[in-house]
Amino acid sequence: MFSRLRLGTKLLWFIAPIMVVAMGIVFTWLIKKEERLIRGEIKTKAEMLALQLEIIREYIAEKQDVINTDPETGNVTFKHLNPAKVGAAISKRISSSTDYIIKQTSLNYRNPENAPDEYEIKMLKQLQTKDNEDAIWGEDYDKEGKKIIRYIVPLYIKADCLPCHGMPAYEGELDITGYKKEGYKLGDLRGAISVIAPAGHMDAVIWTNALILFSIGIISTISVIFLTYLLIRKFVRKPLDRTVAATRAITSGDLSKRVDVKSGDEFGELAESFNIMAESIEEKTRALEETTQNLERANQELRGLDEMKDNIIRDVSHELKSPLAQLRLALELWVGDKKDGAKDENKANLFNGIIKENIKRLNKTVESILELTSLESGRENYDKESLQLKKLIVQVTKSSTLLARQKGLTIRSILPNKLPNVVVDRHGITRVVTNLIDNAIKYTNSGEISVSLQQKNSELEVSVRDSGIGIGLSKEQQYKLFERFYQENASTPGTGVGLSICKTIVEAHGGKIWAESKGEGSTFRFTLPLVTEKEPIATDTKVNDGN
């Protein structure tokens, strides 16, 4: 059922609950915050009243000698202005003029007006079990069932209290007020100041504000949902309806239909993409004839591939036929020379050299073909290890220096320090670098060969540049250099598989290899990816199919 609803309706079904939940969370948070503020205000006022009464009691206790002593005669007479009397009077004044009720209370009270209620008895007993507790907060209900906040501040015996209430040695003696001393000692709990704060109005204020906030929330939620509906209808539903109408028109055969949505948002991009697609379909429909031509070109390419296969067979046959023919001729001449009884050492050495050279050439050709076949078939295993590519290149260039000097060439290396290691097969990459440098020496008659290494993002790039004859192929055809048995110059010695082997090895390591040339000199480059710490170092890795 839900899946059949329009997109705008679905969005509203998702947005509306989210809005309601969000408003509920905000509403609850505001109510809780307001409750904390009101409760904090009540507590602060109760604390101030209790603190004022406690300060007055302490002051009266300190001044008892002054109050009760006649300054002229020095006679001491109780003036009925002790802390209990003054505190009781002030408590009555505060209770009669405010909503707060404050009184002095004690488990061992002298004045019946200070007798504790049930809650105060419970709190006083709790204070007796805890030393030096500052105050106790709590909630209770009065006789009418209204909520009240209770605040109990303990009163401990101090030095000024002892003349009337202590010490243990004087327990039972009458004090100046005519009451028997209780025998308290310093630090004992005498009683407490009890403050009763009305909390009924707090709930009323909270619920009044809650109703206001709830009304505002409902109105805001409905307004936001309605505004969202209008926005969805204008910016979502209408563009989609136009797109659907255009799609149906094109499906029915009207390829000229376009979507008229010119907004800068995603629907505008969708409409633009749809119109481009429609134009493309219209153009391709008018150009069906070109499909036949494309098929013909594809057939020609297939014929070209078949011809390439024949060329490969021919090239292999040629590479094997030429040294075999020279071997046969040398052997026939050698055998004929022996039949004639001739013992020319020079001829024997010549024939021997020809035979060895052609056998070497045959071996090299066969080994190259076998190696390339093994690489491309995926049977070759690589033993990868983490190594410094700079050291490997230095070793290869050193071994190639003698060959370069024989042709009057110099090899220059540009190898920066502090490059990260690569995880490669040492033998395979050595083969690639050696092949590129040997080719550079082979096709360069004068000048120099430069070998460079640099990091580009997450790869290391190796470049071998020469000042030789360059590459005669166009940039678009230079990929042929890496095809097996391809030789740009047939007169140049070689099997034509070296670069193909390089390409297979580099790609097996996840890299790329390519050539660059502008007529004079050539540059061959290949890249090797850097392995991050999270990637495992693969060893004995099998090469993927080179094809």
Assign residue 303 the CATH number of its domain.
1.10.287.130
Same domain (yes/no): 47, 116: yes
Which residue from 163, 206, 203 is spatially nearest to 182, judged by alpha carbons?
Answer: 163
Burial of 192 from C-beta contacts in 10 A (0-12 / 13-18 / 19+): buried
In-domain check, residue 487: yes
In-domain check, residue 407: yes
Choose one of 375, 406, 431: the last residue of a domain: 375
Same domain (yes/no): 144, 67: yes
Query: Range of 185's domain?
Result: 9-206
The pLDDT-based confidence of 310 (bands split at 50, 70, 90) is low
In-domain check, residue 483: yes
pLDDT given at position 358: 65
Same domain (yes/no): 14, 147: yes
Choose one of 206, 241, 271: the last residue of a domain: 206
Same domain (yes/no): 410, 328: no
Q: How much is the average pLDDT of 377-388?
A: 78
pLDDT (tens digit per residue) in 393-425: 999 999 899 889 999 999 999 999 889 999 999
Question: What residues contact 120, with CB distance under 8 A and at least 6 apart?
Answer: 105, 152, 192, 194
- Predicted confidence (pLDDT) at residue 534 exceeds the cutoff of 60: no
- Predicted confidence (pLDDT) at residue 376 exceeds the cutoff of 60: no
- Predicted confidence (pLDDT) at residue 535 exceeds the cutoff of 60: no
Burial of 310 from C-beta contacts in 10 A (0-12 / 13-18 / 19+): exposed
Q: How confident is the prediction for the chain on average, in pLDDT?
A: 80
Q: How much is the average pLDDT of 369-379?
A: 56
pLDDT given at position 217: 79
The pLDDT-based confidence of 319 (bands split at 50, 70, 90) is low
Same domain (yes/no): 365, 385: no
- Predicted confidence (pLDDT) at residue 325 exceeds the cutoff of 80: no
Q: How much is the average pLDDT of 312-330?
A: 61
| More reliable by pLDDT, 172 or 527 | 527
pLDDT given at position 541: 39
- Predicted confidence (pLDDT) at residue 378 exceeds the cutoff of 60: no
The pLDDT-based confidence of 308 (bands split at 50, 70, 90) is low
Same domain (yes/no): 408, 325: no
Q: How much is the average pLDDT of 338-358?
A: 65
pLDDT (tens digit per residue) in 207-223: 787 788 788 878 888 88
The residue to which tokens 């020609």 are assigned: 300
Token pair recorded at residue 334: 């050698």
Domains in the chain, number = 3
Q: How much is the average pLDDT of 116-133?
A: 86
Residue 44 gets the label, from left (phi > 0), alpha (psi -120 to 50) or beta, of alpha
pLDDT given at position 165: 86
The pLDDT-based confidence of 369 (bands split at 50, 70, 90) is low
Same domain (yes/no): 365, 408: no
- Predicted confidence (pLDDT) at residue 544 exceeds the cutoff of 50: no
pLDDT given at position 281: 76
Rg of the Cα atoms in the chain: 52
| More reliable by pLDDT, 443 or 23 | 443
Question: What residues contact 38, with CB distance under 8 A and at least 6 apart?
Answer: 202, 205, 206
Kind of pairing, strands 136-141 and 381-382? unpaired
Q: What is the dihedral of CA 450, 456, 460, 461, to 10 degrees?
A: -30
Same domain (yes/no): 387, 371: no
Choose one of 149, 173, 206: the last residue of a domain: 206
- Predicted confidence (pLDDT) at residue 392 exceeds the cutoff of 80: yes
In-domain check, residue 54: yes
Same domain (yes/no): 58, 158: yes
What share of the chain has pLDDT > 90, as a percent? 25
What share of the chain has pLDDT > 70, as a percent? 78
- 68-82, 251-265, 462-476: least confidently modelled range: 251-265
pLDDT given at position 499: 87
- Predicted confidence (pLDDT) at residue 486 exceeds the cutoff of 70: no
Q: How much is the average pLDDT of 147-162?
A: 90
pLDDT given at position 422: 94
The residue to which tokens 């079990």 are assigned: 129
**Residue 180 maps to which CATH number?**
3.30.450.20
The listed range with the strongest mean pLDDT (11-25, 56-70, 280-294, 333-347) is 56-70
In-domain check, residue 340: yes
Same domain (yes/no): 474, 454: yes
pLDDT given at position 362: 65
The model's pTM is: 0.40
In-domain check, residue 246: no
Same domain (yes/no): 350, 431: no
**Residue 432 maps to which CATH number?**
3.30.565.10
The pLDDT-based confidence of 279 (bands split at 50, 70, 90) is confident
- Predicted confidence (pLDDT) at residue 241 exceeds the cutoff of 80: no
Query: Which residues on adjacent β-strands are paired with residue 527?
Result: 461
The pLDDT-based confidence of 547 (bands split at 50, 70, 90) is very low
Same domain (yes/no): 369, 388: no
Concatenating the DSSP letter of every residue in 322-372 gives: HHHHHHHHHHHHHHHHHHTT---HHHHHHHHHHHHHHHHHHHHHHHHHHHH
In-domain check, residue 29: yes
In-domain check, residue 347: yes
pLDDT given at position 454: 95
